[in-house]
Amino acid sequence: MPRPSQTRFLGIDPGLRFMGWGVIELVGTRLTHVANGVVTSSDRLSLAERLVQLEAGLVEVIEAYAPHSAAVENAFVARDAAAALKLGQARAVALLVPSRAGLPVAEYAPNHVKKAVVGAGHAGKGQIQMMVEMLLPGCHALNEHAADALAIAICHAHAGAGEARVAQALMREAAGR
């Protein structure tokens, strides 16, 4: 369980077969790795049963790591309509589970996440994993899905920290009036 001075972020990389997740903490301006992994679903099951597997896995992650907020990557699928529909259903689980747990949920475009972590909006999977592991010393992402989820969490932490600083500045300004 995080201490009160810490903010814990959950990043989710949605996918029907492999749903990456990563949990980080922000203490002051320092990011630290908490955990990462992948929730999987069996392609031998029906779509409904696979979605239940994803939901149960994410519930376990949230219960185990008690994040304060979550972020999910927006879908970008150029393959076909059927793949886009399945990914959309997995994204629904990724949005629903943290929201049902009472967490605020943000969404980020893939290029925004890449730019926030790597500095380039068209970075490759290897570059993302390398930068995630550099930004979170001691972190070893389980695989590319977990690395992407950690990148989403980092992006969200940067955005959330910026919003918190703006809110604090506005409060100080209002108190000075």
Catalytic residues: 13, 73, 145
132 with 147: CB under 8 angstroms? yes
Question: What distance separates the 2 farthest-apart alpha carbons in the chain?
Answer: 64
Residue partners of 105: CB distance under 8 A and separation at least 6? 69, 70, 71, 72, 95, 98, 99
Helix (H, G, I), strand (E, B) or coil at 151: helix
Residue carrying the six token digits 């393959």: 79
Q: How many CA atoms are closer than 13 Å to the CA of 36, on its beta-carbon side?
A: 31
Residue 97: phi and psi, rounded to 5, are -60, -50
Helix (H, G, I), strand (E, B) or coil at 102: coil
SS3 172: helix
Decide: helix, strand or coil at residue 99: helix
